[in-house]
Amino acid sequence: MNLLNKSPDWWRGAVIYQIYPRSFQDTNGDGVGDLLGIVQRLPHVASLGADAVWISPFFTSPMKDFGYDIADYCDVDPMFGSLADFDQVIATAHALGLKVLIDLVLSHTSDQHPWFKESRDSRDNAKADWYVWADPKPDGTPPNNWLSIFGGPAWQWDSRREQYYLHNFLVAQPDLNFHCTEVQQELLSVAKFWLDRGVDGFRLDTINFYMHDEELRDNPALPPAERNDQTAPKVNPYNHQRHIYDKNHPRNVEFLRKLRTLMNGYNAAAVGEVGDSQRGLEILGEYTSGEDKMQMSYAFELLSGHEPLKAGFIKDTFEHLERVAGEGWACWAYSNHDVVRHISRWGLNPASSRVYTTLLMCLKGSICLYQGEELGLPEADLAYDDLQDPYGIQFWPEFKGRDGCRTPMVWHKDAAYGGFSSSKPWLPVPSVHYHLAPDAVETDPAALIHHYRRAIAFRHHHPALKAGSMTHIWAHGDVLSFHRICDEEEILCFFNLSDHPVDTTVPAGDWVTIGGELGSIRPMPDHTLHLGPWQPSLLKLNQGGRDG
């Protein structure tokens, strides 16, 4: 049994396993995962060698956006269980040596939250300015041109106040007004409630959406050549604007400092999700530099794109990160609950899946793994009638939404619904997932899950990989290489990110081959490195061993 890491820097280089509660394990037979299901399956997470779990929202909610529309920040939705069940999650995780991060959605609430119900009741009640309200233009149209990520205007008319309210996401998700001091204090109290309950930190949803421009200025248009689909699907007009005024407010950092001060008293850490494809890495630097803001920010560069990662792209990404966020700390992931699973997105085979896993564990930053990626689960291909996600329903069929990556976990190959539930789940269990269930692959030494365990253990064994610098990033064709350096340890990493063999040259030095369990190979005596398809070479420098 692992001991819980008490270091204040436990988060630096940590491997964090994301749990989507609805789809992890159902224990009461209603077809929806629950907190006691998480308790039941935490040993699986611990067996991977993860340092922490990130649990997506389980708070009281009408579930218009599946928990990201919160109606009570300090209680558990009955669908998932009770506060007592959550206490069991904490106790079990800690006993297994796992930290627990919970997903706090602070930028907006549900329209069923008591705060919003009071706020919309009149223009002069105690919570009248707790949300972002604005008068219409003289012609009755919305105050400005801001758009919702879910499509259409970001403003909704309310007949009671005869004003518009801001919703950067669903109409049922009104934005809180962070320019109101009382709102900030109330949200800090929410964070304290969960810290007192034993959580080790937070994943902060849409961290750069907290504050808006008080003058409500229009966003400028974004030229077509600069548009991409990292923040929103290609078919979404949200991509047609440069989002200067509806998010990324400079004073956002002031609230983050208050939250950091609170967390410091609990040895807690936070990873913020920066939802911005235009200035994402710059904002990451602004929000994580120094010792007074968030520890980590979630980066989207490796979560987007339909082509497998290229050596040049990784080089450019990390060099850009160093330029604009050299003092910050990124958290990297290939998959999560919002994007197509990377096995399908990149069309990976067993060999490429393994090398990308090894690469992820060698990158500078912390790591997030999404439930099921250790099994190699592909994206589910769902019929329109099976969709639950309002995002997919809105933009079908050009964008099929997020349900394909949210289908239930499989645990037993021969059990009904893969052992997830005793009754029909909220989303179908794809037939192609059954043969990838843990009990089906555990005895197969070539199964991807064993490679994940080895790669995570390898990362933990080498301080340079967890917390070291990343220098001399080099890309030549399909070969990527870089150095990871920490104190007396220096590791040189080579990756052939292609399906054909490549020869390259190792710099002079007394290099020792490591990572043989990950497929790493040694160079020839003349320093030539014959990399096979999808093959790494991981080399450690003997102390004092460089030949000039």
Active site residues: 205, 273
Q: CB under 8 Å to 135, separation ≥6 — which residues?
A: 143, 163, 164
Tokens of 122: 């009149």
Tallying the residues shown for the chain, one arrives at: 548
Alpha helices, DSSP H only, in 401-502?
438-441, 448-461, 463-467
Cα 527 to Cα 523: distance, rounded to the nearest angstrom: 6
What are the backbone angles phi and psi of residue 363, rounded to the nearest 5°? -80, 150
Q: Do 178 and 252 contact (CB within 8 A), yes or no? A: yes
Q: CB under 8 Å to 314, separation ≥6 — which residues?
A: 359, 473, 475, 480
Q: CB under 8 Å to 382, separation ≥6 — which residues?
A: 400, 403, 404, 407, 427, 428
Q: Do 325 and 289 contact (CB within 8 A), yes or no? A: yes
SS3 content of the chain, % helix, strand, coil (to 5): 30, 20, 50
- Tell me the CB-side half-sphere exposure of residue 114, using CA atoms within 13 A: 5
